Every structure is written in structure tokens, then in C-alpha cells.
Amino acid sequence: MAGVSLKCGDCGALLRTVEEAQEHAELTSHSNFSESTEPVLNLICTACSKPCRSKTESDLHTKRTGHTEFVDKTSEAVKPISLEAPKVDATASSENPSAAASTDQNEEMVVPEVDKKLLEELESMGFSTARATRALHYSGNAGLESAVNWIVEHENDPDIDQMPLVPTNTKIETPKPSLTPEELKAKQQELRERARKKKEEEEKRMEREREKERIRIGKELLEAKRIEADNERKRLLALRKAEKEEEKSAREK
């Protein structure tokens, strides 16, 4: 079977393309890649159509949104991996000078440096290299929690799985928060309220389940007692019958 992914021998990450492997190598300094027949997971949330590349990522999505149903479309996305780097169409470049100029400009763009340890931790949680890099870059490499929060807030962005690029001479600064302190406080209060309501609903559901279980156990105990009493009644009747037969036999002698 032809390979359908590239596997990093250093951390076990599965990459769909040579480009993803190159980006992974640039960011982590990992260089041990091999062709693999193990496909990259493609779990699609039935509620919001969000794709997840690993069970860990789908579990995190469930914790954040409450969505629990996923369709495994891994087989639909699987195709033999090409080990050739994409070629630039020279004809198109010559016919379109502006496109060529844009390409030259893109060559001066680089993937921003991020904390490698945090990047590996995010990847181990199931996030793609591009998504993890983007989260760390735009959260200012402030920490794992900040990066995960950024992903939660931006998971519907159309470019969330595209590598961020910055000019080579650009000084990377910590981005300013998108929310004002008042808005952030309101957002936190909203999240706390949601969590409280969700906890209350879960506790009510669990209490209903416990009540059902108590009723079931009660019925089983009553049935067991009825059977025990019935068996005891039958035993006593049999005992009395045996005693009468013994008395009758004794009189006949």
C-alpha cells in the first residue's frame, strides 16, 4: 500500500503533505520523517462541521462546545502522498508579472518563531502544526492556556489552519488583546454562567438517572423478597405435609 502520510519519527506527528512536513521541520528542528500508511484522521463534527485531526482534538472540541457526534471521513480525504515539492508555473509567472512579483514578495515572508516546547505540547494535544503556530504567534507565546484560548476564540476563522507569515525584517510583538478589560470581564462572566448552567443541567440529569436506578433497585428488592416469601411458604407447606404423613404412618403401625 502506498504511503498516505509522513510520520515524524521524533514526536509521532502525522502530516498530510511534504509542505506540512517542511513547516514542521522548520518549527521543531525535527528531521526524521518517513512515509506511513497510517492516515491523518479527519473527524467532522455533525453539529458545526468542524474538522478534527485527532481524537484528542475532538475530545477538546466536545468539552468546549458539548458537541459529541463526529463522522469519520478519514477515508474520503486519504490519497497517496506525493514526495515532490510543488513546482512553480514558470509560464504563468512570465505571462503575469504581478503574480511573479507577488511570489518574490512571498519568498521574503517567513514563518514566525514560536516557543518550540509549547508547539510540541499543542501538537501532542492533536492540533495541527499550522493551527498551533498561529495560536502561539497571535497569543504572543504567552503560554499553553493562552494559545488554547486563542484557538477556541478563532476556531471558525477560515485561515486558522494556514501558517502565519511575517516579513523577515518584521519585529514580532505581543499582540494587544482584542477585548477591552470590561468586555473580557463580561466574557469571562458569560463563560462562568454557561459552565454553571451546564453543571446544574448535568447534576439534574444525574439525579434523574440516580432516581431511576433507586426505583429499579427497589423493584428488584421487592421482587426478591416476594420470591423468598413464596419459597418459604412452599417450604413450610411441604414440611407440614411431611409431618402429617409421618403421623399417619405412626398411627397405622
**Residue 179 is inside which H or E element, if any?**
none
pLDDT tens for 2-60 read 567 778 877 777 777 878 878 877 777 777 777 778 888 888 889 888 888 777 778 88
Per-residue pLDDT tens over the stretch 64-114: 788 889 888 888 777 776 655 555 444 444 445 444 444 444 457 788 888
> Is 249 a member of any domain?
no
Structural domains of the chain, count:
1
Within-domain flag for 190: no
User: What DSSP letter does each residue of 192-214 carry, written as one string?
Assistant: HHHHHHHHHHHHHHHHHHHHHHH
Phi/psi-derived region of residue 241, left when phi > 0, alpha when psi is between -120 and 50, beta in every other case: alpha
**Cα angle, residue 160 at apex, residues 154 and 163 outer, rounded to 5°:** 140
- The CATH number of the domain holding residue 172 is 1.10.8.10
Q: Which domain holds residue 143?
A: 108-178
pLDDT at 10: 77
In a domain, 158, yes or no: yes
Tell whether 135 is covered by a domain. Answer: yes
Assigned domain for 26 exists: no
Closest Cα partner for 14 from 129, 118, 133, 135? 129
Is 120 within the bounds of a domain? yes
pTM (two decimals): 0.35
- Is 121 among the domain residues? yes
Residue 168, domain member (yes or no): yes
Report the 10 Å Cβ neighbour count for 221. Answer: 10
